[in-house]
Copies of this chain bind each other. A is one copy, B any other.
Amino acid sequence: MPYKSEEEFLKHYDSSKFEKLSMTTDIIIFSVSNSLTTNYRKLNEKHFSVLLVKRQDYPFKDKWCLPGGFVKMDETLDEAATRILATETNLHNIYIEQLYTFSDINRDPRMRIVSTAYMSLIDKNMLNEKIPKNASWFNMKILEDDKTINITFDNEIENFTVVIKKTLKELTTDRYKYSVVKNDNLAFDHALVIASGISRLKNKLEYTDIVFNMMPEYFTLGELQQVYEIILDKKLLDPAFRRIIADKVEKTDKVKTGGGHRPSALFRYKLNKK
């Protein structure tokens, strides 16, 4: 081992010295979309939704899971997530951000697999037709209190609920630790992954401009407010909301008419000059 230089060391390095494992990435694709049931005068019913894929093979055959796949040796995690998004769900040029790396020893029954989860946000209404047939959008209804998160998934054919327990992590109230209490329909640890993603998204909504990744280029302030309300799961007061997002958007000269009421101005995301 007394090498003279870095070059010499590397020339003799035995890369089998350390144990190895496989890595995957799983991608949570969030969207907020209009209800498909076009009731008269009930149009604007929006839903917080996530794209799931039905597993075709073992393990977890026929369960639902997040789009995901193995990381290749010549790509970074970001590249893997982008590739998988393209090949598995036909989504291109999508905003993604790394969420968390899950490493429970038995999270995959096949072998030791560590998975880095990504979160992506899209404006679903632009590409409803393009998703593959083994994928499906699920609307989510989320009930959360100090101790529990209940997420009900609904794609108008199937309907199921997962229950997650929250426990405070150590003394410092950084965040909660999640553990699955009930889950009969989601593969792997993806119930945990989705719960983490929802938590992250809710937080980021408040202090970043992340939401505009789910919006079309032009939108009314009412539509934007609805997206906030659906994700945060609470009503916001109009004037307060408008004050908060005032310097993030700019009014265009377009308007949206036909709603049976005063037309709304269409706005656009404004890159912050500062």
Measured CB to CB, the residues of A under 8 A from B are 1, 3, 6, 9-10, 13, 15, 18-23, 57-61, 70-78, 95, 97-98, 100-101, 103-105, 109-112, 114, 116, 170-175, 204, 207-210, 212-213, 269, 271-272
- Docked complex Cα distance between A10 and B73 (Å): 25
Question: Chain B nearest CB: distance from A248 CB in Å?
Answer: 9
The residue from B20, B23, B101, B209 contacting A173, defined by CB atoms under 8 A apart: B209
Q: Quick check: A111 and B15 within 8 Å, CB to CB?
A: yes
Q: Quick check: A110 and B13 within 8 Å, CB to CB?
A: yes
What is the total number of copies of this protein in its complex? 2
Q: Which residues of B contact A174 (CB under 8 A)?
A: 97, 204, 208-210
Given A6-B61, A20-B22, A173-B272, does the pair A98, B97 have CB atoms closer than 8 Å?
no
Q: Quick check: B208 and A9 within 8 Å, CB to CB?
A: no
| Interchain Cβ contacts under 8 Å between A and B, 20 examples | A3-B58, A9-B57, A18-B70, A19-B73, A20-B20, A20-B22, A21-B22, A21-B73, A73-B105, A73-B112, A77-B114, A78-B103, A97-B174, A98-B100, A101-B101, A171-B269, A172-B210, A173-B271, A174-B210, A207-B207
Q: Quick check: A109 and B76 within 8 Å, CB to CB?
A: no
Question: Chain B nearest CB: distance from A174 CB in Å?
Answer: 5
Q: Quick check: A58 and B22 within 8 Å, CB to CB?
A: no
Residue of B nearest to A173 (CB): B209
Q: Quick check: A209 and B172 within 8 Å, CB to CB?
A: yes
- Docked complex Cα distance between A75 and B75 (Å): 25
Residue of B nearest to A274 (CB): B146
Q: Which residues of B contact A112 (CB under 8 A)?
A: 73
Question: Chain B nearest CB: distance from A217 CB in Å?
Answer: 11
- Docked complex Cα distance between A48 and B41 (Å): 59
Q: Quick check: B23 and A114 within 8 Å, CB to CB?
A: yes
Question: Chain B nearest CB: distance from A254 CB in Å?
Answer: 20
